[in-house]
Amino acid sequence: MSVLFSPIALRGLTLRNRTVVAPMCQYSAKDGFANDWHYVHLGRFALGGFGLVIVEATGVTAEGRISYGDLGIWKDEQIAPLARIVDFLHSQGAAAGIQLAHAGRKASTPVPWRKGFDETEVEKAELAFEHWVPVAPSAIAHSNNPNFQTPTALDAAGIQGIIDAFVAAAVRANKAGFDTVEIHAAHGYLLNQFLSPLANKRTDEYGGSRENRMRLVLEVTKAVRAVWPEEKPLLVRLSVSDWNADGWQVEDSVVLSRELKALGADAIDASSGGFDEAAVQVGPNYQVPFARAVREGADIPTMAVGLLGDAAEAEAIVTNGEADFIALARGALDDPNWPLHAKLALGDADYSLWPQQTNRVRERHRSLGQHSFNVS
């Protein structure tokens, strides 16, 4: 039996398989509200057989969004359209997660397919355009690129406000019916900025030593775990390495993951990078070693992510204990039915993962002599 397509439990949540849709920003919201685009975009992954679908980086404050087009969960009115998505995911057998995020100094940037802030006045009204000064651990811009501003350094009250915002967002996520939340501490966004000496130049209790730089992530995790239901798992996404000799290292992530586990985190979504100074060595499965290092070093389940997609390799990763989950983002965009196709590629002729409305696919394969119907 395929390990990739066997059930797995985290606390009281049992996933039908170990395939995950990683969070992907769609830059298609107005005032943070989910709409029909998000409903269809995310719903198709449940139809495609994924075990867990995680909603994109969702701002815990309006100012925490990467762009004005990002989803938000900073007010109660945003719960209902998210709950609609959750209900559909559940109806198709998938679990629903949401990534709670704050972009820090990478906030208030242009929607990526535009040429900077080139919106006309008419478009600004239509798109609910907003632009603001971001916050960060230190008043240092992410990049010399003019799309990034010099942020305001957070004071003690501002830091407490960030913690409170994550807590309030988790309460709303539970009201929306999500099965899990993922705290976003990766990709050069706010919590990752506090972790990394590349961005954190503070001299108070939130800067300097590794212990101090970990403080905010741990405080957020502890506070969210306190309000997140005991039976529901809590995930944390880390950039396991900054890909920079002067930045955050794999061994730092192992230490942090041990602390996160002690606070009640249930799995680490193991990504990497996020700073301009990174020298990322990209290639197929390039982040799998990070998932394995954290899994072995911190004794905590991990998600592998990053240019994955070969079914046999994905099966080997979970079978060999390199990671517990296979998470796809761009791969899922390319093939929303990836789990259905991967299951067949692994020789499993059971079509029960396919929605019943798609039974004609089985008959097509039979007519063409494909998959298990190939008798040659």
* Catalytic residue numbers, as ranges: 189
Angle at 183 between CA 324 and CA 44, to 5 degrees: 65
Do the Cβ atoms of 94 and 52 come closer than 8 Å? yes
Q: At what angle do helices 79-91 and 156-175 cross, to 10 degrees?
A: 50
Query: Which amino acid, residue 183?
Result: I
Which candidate, 16, 27, 183, 28, places its Cα nearest to that of 89?
A: 16
Do the Cβ atoms of 238 and 176 come closer than 8 Å? no
Query: How far does CA 347 lie from the centroid of its chain?
Result: 30
> What is the spatial distance between Cα 216 and Cα 218, in angstroms, rounded to a whole number?
5
Do the Cβ atoms of 25 and 68 come closer than 8 Å? no
| DSSP helix/strand/coil, 286 | coil
> What is the spatial distance between Cα 64 and Cα 48, in angstroms, rounded to a whole number?
31
CA quadruple 305, 307, 311, 313: dihedral, nearest 10: -80
> What is the spatial distance between Cα 67 and Cα 152, in angstroms, rounded to a whole number?
17
What Rg value do the Cα atoms of the chain yield, rounded?
21
Q: What values do phi and psi take at 316, rounded to 5?
A: -65, -40
Alpha helices per DSSP H over the chain: 36-47, 79-91, 121-127, 156-175, 190-195, 210-227, 250-262, 288-298, 311-319, 330-334, 338-345, 359-368
Do the Cβ atoms of 51 and 17 come closer than 8 Å? yes
Do the Cβ atoms of 162 and 190 come closer than 8 Å? yes
> What is the spatial distance between Cα 306 and Cα 155, in angstroms, rounded to a whole number?
35
